[in-house]
Chain A
Amino acid sequence: MNQPILTLSDLAFTYRDAPKPALDQIDYRHRRGEFTVIVGETGAGKSTLCRCLNGLIPSFTKGRLEGSLQVAGHRDSERPQVYELARIVGLVFQDFEAQLFSTNVELETAFALENFAVDRDRMKTRVDRALNRVGLSGFEQRDPASLSGGEKQRLAIASVLAGSPSVVVMDEPTTDLDPVGKRDIFTLAQVLRNEIEGIILVEHETEHVLSADRILLMHEGRIVQEGPPGEILADPRNVERHGVRPLQTTVLLSELGLETDALTIEDAAARIRSAGWRVKKSAQESLEGARRREPPCDPPGEPPHEPLDDSRQSVVHIKNLVFRYGEAPPAVDGVSLDIAAGEFVALVGQNGCGKTTLAKHLNGLHAPTEGEVRVLGKSITDWTLPELGRRVGYVFQNPDHQIFANTVRDEVAFGARNYGFSEEEVGEKVDAALAETGLSGRDLEDPFNLTRGERQQLAVASVLATDPGILVLDEPTTGLDYHGQVAILNLVRRLNESGRTVVMITHSMWVVAEYADRCIIMSGGRVVQDGDVRTCFSNPELLESLYLEAPEAVRLGYEFGLVARSVQEIAHCLERVEE
C-alpha cells in the first residue's frame, strides 16, 4: 500500500527555446490506490507534468529534462520510451475528437492491445472488459464519430484502460463536455479508483473532486501546495489567487466570517445554521423583486424588477423554425421565441441539442428549412450576409478558428475592413473595440503570443469593431482558467450593460446563474424551458430531468429555502439571530 508507484524527484523541464522552465522542482510520490487531482491556472505546468509521467516528454516533445522520474514495475533507464511507460501509465487527453481515429468502437479499444502484441483470443476479453467499465458495452460496432461528446471521451478512456495501465492520467477530460458528459466521467473516475492502482486527474471544477485523496495546487511550474481537499480547498482566497474557482461553500462561509473547512453543501449549511444564521423574513420575495446587479435584500424596499414587457423592442423573432442538415432528422425542430433589445440570454442544453444550429441562424450562417427568423424586423433571408453579419456579431467557440493576422490591430480591423468602412472609420472603431476589451496599447503584438484568455478577448474585439447591436457567443469560457473566465464574462456583462443584446451558449450553469437574465433550455432541437433565470432554477426536478444540474451556489441556496443566484445573494438573505 505504501510503496509509491510514481516517484518524481526534483523534476524540471524546459521546452526547447523557452526562456524559463515549464516545470521546476517537482517532488511527488503517487502511492498505490490514490486518487490525485491537479489544479492550477493556465500555464501552471499541469499538462506538461502529465506528459512527463508517460514519457511523451522528453521523447516526443523535446526540451531539457532534469531530475528523475521513477515508475514502479519499469526497470530504470535513463530515457524510457513512451511505449515502454504506456503499459504502466495511460494518458487521456482533453480533445477527444483528435485522439480517436478508428472506424468503430471495438477497433479503437483494441489498438493499444495490438501494439502490445496481446494474443488475439485474449484481446477480445480485454476489449469487452474495458468497454464494460466505461459503460459502452453494446457500442462495439458504432462509428466513434456518431457518439456524443461524453461517450467519445469514455471511449478514449476505454482505449487506454484496455492496455491495463496501473495509473490512468487524465488531462482535463471534462473541459469540452456538457453537464451529463462531465458527470459520467466523474462517476467513472470514482469506479476506477477502486479498480486500478492510481488516478491522476487535471480538473478545474473542484466541486466534483471532493472525494479525491489529494490535491496538487500548481503555480508557475511548481507544486505550491499538496494535501487532502479539506486542507487545500478550504482557503477560497488562496485557491482563487491560483486561477481556480473556489468552492462556493467556502466563499459563503468566509463572507459570514466562519471557519471555511466545511466543503460539502450539507456540511456548510449545517455550520451556518449552528452559528446562529437564519433567513430574513420575506427574503425570497425581495430576491424575486431585486434587480440583477444590485445587492438584493438590502435595502429591503427595492422596487420590483420591470418584467420584459411588450414595450421593449424585439430584436430577434423566431417562429416555428425547423432546420435540417441534408436528410438528417431536424437539428432544430419547431422553435419559436422572441428576444428583446438589451437582454442577456443564456442558451443551454446537452451537446447536439441544437443550440449552435439555432444561434447560427441569427447572423445568417444558416437559413431556415422551414419557419421564419426575423432579425431587427427583417427576415434573415432578406438580409445580405455582410449586412446581417455587421449587426449580429458572432464569436465562435475557439478563437483559434479565426485568428490569422500579424498584429492585434489588423486582426480587429479585419471585420471592419470587410464591411467597407473607410480607413479612418476603421481606425476609430478598432480603437473603441480595443478599449472596450481592455486590449488598448497592445495593437502591435502578435495575436499568437497572447494567452488563450486574451485571444478570446481579441475574438470579441474583432467582432465589436463592426459595432453590432447583437452579440452571439458560443461557449466563450471553455478552455479558460477561472481568471480568464471571469475576465471574459465581465467583458460580456459590460457590453450588455452598454446596451447590446447578448445571446450566450454555455455549459457552465454557474455562468447562467450569475450573468444571464434569461435562460433558454433546449433538448432534442426544441425549446423545453424559457424564462427568467431564477424561475429556471426554482425547478430542480425539471433541470434534473433535462440532465442539467443547478450550480453549487444555487443548491446551497436550496438548503435555506432560497432560490439564489450567487452566494452573495444568499449572504444578503441571512441574518444572525442572537440566542
Chain B
Amino acid sequence: MVLYIPSDSLLHRLHPSTKIVGLALLLILTVAFQSPWYQLVILAGVLLLARSAGAFRNLRRILPLMITVLVFSVVSWSLFRRIGDPFWSFGLFTLSTESIRFGFAMGFRLEAMLVSGMVFVSCTKVEEFAYGLRAIGLPFAVSFALSLAFRLVPLFFTRIGTVVQAQQARGLDLKSGNVLQRARKYVPLLVPIFVYAIRDTDLLSMALESKGFGMRGRRTEYLAFPFVWRDYAILGLLVILNIAGWLMPVP
C-alpha cells in the first residue's frame, strides 16, 4: 500500500493472514472495555507495536487527524452523553464524571483503532493483503479487485492533478464564487477525469486479460508465506486477550 514502510520487523514478517485476522481481533478487543484506563493500556500496547514496526513515520503524518479525533470525542461525548449525575449543565450540555470517563474511553478507543490500522498498512504490501485474504478463503477475483483498488488510487490522483493543472492553465478559478457557481466549475474537471478513468480501466482490463487473467481453474502463487510459531503465538495471545476481555465483568 502507499503507506507501506519496508522493514524486517517481527510484525512485517508475520503471515499476511495473521496480520489481517490480528487486526480484526485488535479492533474487537478495543470494543470489549468501557474503562478509559483499560483503553489507555490498549492504546499504549498498539503504540508499542507501531514503534516495533517502525510505523511512527506514518503516525506523524496523521497526527493532526489523531489530535482532532481525541479532542472532538472527549469534548462532545462528555458534553452530550447523559449518564450518571451531572454536576454541571447548560441548556443541552451536561457534564458528569461518567460522561467524562466515557468521552476519554471513546477517544482512546478511536485512537487505538486508528493506530492499529496504521500499523497494519505500514507493514503489509498490497500483494500480501490480497494473499492474506485469499488464504482466509476469499475468491481470487475479489481479493485482486480489492488490492487493485489500493494500487489505483495514487495513479488516479496523479491524473486528477494533471487535469486540474490543465484547466487552471486555462484560467479555471475554483476558489471564487458562491456554492452554485463553484459547483458548476467542477464540470470542466469531472468530464476529463471520467474519460480518463474509463479509458484507464479499459486498458488495464485488456492488459490483465492478455496475461491470462480470467482463466478458469487452478492458479498458482508466486509469493509464499510459511505459517509459523510466531503466527500461532500472536493469534493465540490476541484470542486469549479477547476471551478475557469479553468474559470479564465490564470495567
Task: Report A's interface with B, CB cutoff 8 A.
Answer: 51, 54, 56, 59-60, 81-83, 86-87, 90-91, 93, 95, 97-99, 101-103, 106-107, 110-120, 123-124, 127, 145, 156, 159-160, 163, 360, 363, 365, 385-386, 389-390, 393-394, 396, 400-405, 414-415, 418-419, 462-463, 466
A414 and chain B: residue at smallest CB distance: B170
Closest chain-B Cβ to A70's Cβ sits at a distance in Å of 19
Alpha-carbon separation in the docked complex, A394 to B166 (Å): 8
Contact A120 B222 (CB under 8 A): yes
Q: Is the CB of A160 within 8 A of B211?
A: yes
A112 to B170, CA, bound (A): 43
Q: Which of B155, B172, B200, B220 contacts A418 (CB 8 A)?
A: B172
Contact indicator A115/B212 (Cβ below 8 Å): yes
Distance in angstroms from B138 CB to nearest chain A CB is: 16
* Contact call B210/A103, Cβ cutoff below 8 A: no
- Interface residue? B67 (CB, 8 A): no
Do B212 and A87 touch (CB < 8 A)?
yes
Answer yes or no: B196 CB below 8 A from chain A CBs.
Answer: yes
B residues near A (Cβ < 8 Å) are 4, 125-127, 148, 151-152, 154-155, 162-163, 165-173, 187-192, 195-196, 199-200, 203-215, 217-224
Q: Min CB distance, B113 to chain A, in Å? A: 25
Of chain A, the residue at the smallest CB distance from B170 is A415
Assuming the A-B contacts A113-B220, A396-B169, A419-B171, are A93 and B192 also in contact, with contact meaning beta carbons closer than 8 angstroms in the complex?
A: no
Question: Most A CB atoms within 10 A — which of B188, B206, B224?
Answer: B206
A389 near B170 with CB under 8 A, answer: yes
Tell whether, in the assembled complex, residue B125 and residue A402 are in contact, meaning their CB atoms are under 8 Å apart.
no
**Which residues of A are found within 8 Å of B172, using beta-carbon distances?**
414, 418
Contacts of B125 in A (CB 8 A): 103
**What residues on B are CB-neighbors of A159 within 8 Å?**
211
Given A404-B188, A404-B192, CB of A116 within 8 Å of CB of B215: yes
Q: Count the A-B residue pairs with Cβ separation under 8 angstroms: how many?
A: 156
* Alpha-carbon distance between A99 and B211 when the two chains are bound, in angstroms: 11
The secondary-structure label for the interface of chain A is: helix
In the complex, which of the residues A60, A81, A111 contacts B206, with contact meaning CB atoms closer than 8 Å? A60
CB distance from A396 to the nearest CB of B (A): 4
A421 to B168, CA, bound (A): 17
With known contacts A114-B220, A119-B220, A390-B171, A402–B166 Cβ distance under 8 A: yes
B209 adjacent to A51 (CB under 8 Å) = no
Q: Complex formed: what's the CA distance from A389 to B168 in Å?
A: 8
Q: List residues of chain A with CB within 8 A of the CB of B152.
A: 101
Contact A123 B207 (CB under 8 A): no
Q: How far is the CA of A309 from the CA of B165 in the complex (A)?
A: 35
- What residues of chain A lie closer than 8 Å to B205, measured between beta carbons? 60
Distance (Å) between the CB of B226 and the closest chain A CB?
A: 13
Contacts of B221 in A (CB 8 A): 114, 120
Complex formed: what's the CA distance from A156 to B172 in Å? 37
B170 proximity list for chain A (CB < 8 A): 389, 402, 414-415, 418, 462-463, 466
Residue of A nearest to B215 (CB): A83
Q: Which of B196, B204, B207, B217 contacts A400 (CB under 8 A)?
A: B196
The docked-state distance in angstroms from the alpha carbon of A111 to that of B171 is 44
A123 cross-chain contacts in B, Cβ below 8 A: 220, 222
Cβ–Cβ contact A120 & B169, under 8 A: no
Docked-complex contact B166 and A396, CB < 8 angstroms: yes
Instruction: Name the distance in Å between A47's Cβ and chain B's nearest Cβ.
Output: 10
- Apart from A385-B168, A390-B171, what are 6 other A-B pairs with CB-CB below 8 Å? A51-B206, A93-B207, A110-B222, A401-B162, A402-B163, A462-B170
In the bound complex, how far is the Cα of B211 from the Cα of A112, in angstroms? 5
Contacting pair A400 B212 (CB below 8 A): no
Which 10 A-B pairs give the minimum distances between C-beta atoms?
A418-B171, A115-B212, A404-B191, A99-B207, A110-B222, A112-B211, A83-B215, A415-B170, A402-B166, A98-B203
Question: Which of A86, A124, A400 lies in contact with B211, CB distance below 8 A?
Answer: A86
Task: Name the contact of B168 in the complex, choosing from A90, A127, A365 (C-beta under 8 A).
Answer: A365
A401 with B222: CB separation less than 8 A? no
Is there contact, CB below 8 Å, between A389 and B171?
A: yes
